[in-house]
């Protein structure tokens, strides 16, 4: 595998085993377990500049508020997923059985131009949610795919409110234009590559 310029750390967090990533100054999808994320950041001497969520599902957001206060850094959410925050408490209570408190406060809504994270590009990938995004770094040969594509050819669920199966399929098609050797870091489960995903992609839901 090609060497990455930026270091990358993966942390599995929360009851739904969300992958949180530390990469290029960004905390991506801090889905729970604030203490674990915080301690890892200190241990690695990682310098977080922003928190970013690939989409607005609560299991990608549960540690946002605490990390915002701990590091005094802004939180970015895709604009079209603002609507998902209204479901944050309800969904967490329903799926995990506890009240997570108020939803995270968004400091900046993600647009296609930003933010610039050492050349990381925001790719809109609606479908699993209306505003879902992937983060791509050509230089580092990595894609953070959120809940859009997973290892084993699996794709994001589209049986939740605000999902759209057709949009998801379009988004996946678009991702498949990336180089086959691109390493894919999904929101749950193991890594894959664009090429590896292509071979196993059989339209089954994660």
According to CB under 5 A, which residues from 65 to 124 bind Zn ion? none
Query: Least Å distance between CB 124 and Zn ion?
Result: 15
What does the alpha-carbon distance between residue 52 and residue 78 come to, in Å, rounded to a whole number?
A: 9
Q: Which two tokens stand for residue 110?
A: 């993600």
Nearer to Zn ion, 45 or 159 (CB): 159
Classified as helix, coil or strand, 94 is: helix
Residue 193, CB half-sphere, CA atoms under 13 Å: how many? 10
The least CB distance from residue 44 to Zn ion, in Å, is 26
Residues 129-148 that bind Zn ion (CB under 5 A): 147
In 24-74, at which residue ranges do the beta strands (DSSP E only) sit?
26-28, 50-52
57 touches Zn ion (CB under 5 A) = yes
Alpha helices in 63-134 (DSSP H): 64-71, 88-96
Please say which residue, 49 or 89, places its beta carbon nearer to Zn ion. Answer: 89
Stretch of residues binding Zn ion (CB under 5 A), selected from 25-33, 56-64, 86-94, 196-204: 56-64
- Contact characters 12-51, Zn ion, x per CB under 5 A: ----------------------------------------
Name the CA radius of gyration of the chain, rounded. Answer: 16
Q: Phi and psi of 203, rounded to 5°?
A: 65, 25
Residue numbers 147-176 binding Zn ion by CB under 5 A: 147
φ, ψ at 149 (rounded to 5°): -130, 150
Find the shortest distance in angstroms from Cβ 47 to Zn ion. Answer: 28
Q: Using CB under 5 A, list all residues that contact Zn ion.
A: 57, 147
């Amino acid at each position: 595998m090609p060497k990455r310029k930026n270091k990358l750390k993966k942390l599995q967090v929360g009851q739904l085993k969300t992958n949180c990533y530390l990469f290029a100054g960004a905390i991506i999808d801090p889905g729970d377990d604030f203490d674990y994320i915080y301690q890892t950041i200190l241990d690695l001497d990682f310098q977080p500049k922003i928190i970013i969520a690939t989409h607005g599902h609560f299991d990608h957001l549960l540690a946002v508020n605490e990390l915002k206060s701990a590091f005094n850094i802004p939180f970015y959410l895709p604009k079209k997923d603002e609507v998902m925050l209204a479901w944050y408490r309800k969904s967490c209570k329903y799926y995990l059985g506890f009240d997570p408190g108020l939803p995270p406060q968004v400091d900046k809504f993600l647009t296609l131009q930003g933010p610039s994270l050492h050349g990381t590009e925001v790719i809109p990938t609606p479908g699993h949610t209306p505003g879902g995004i992937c983060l791509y770094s050509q230089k580092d040969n990595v894609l953070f795919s959120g809940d859009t594509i997973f290892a084993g050819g699996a794709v994001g669920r589209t049986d939740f409110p605000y999902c759209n199966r057709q949009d998801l399929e379009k988004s996946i098609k678009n991702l498949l234009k990336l180089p086959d050797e691109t390493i894919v870091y999904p929101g749950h489960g193991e890594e894959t590559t664009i090429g590896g995903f292509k071979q196993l992609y059989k339209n089954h839901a994660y």
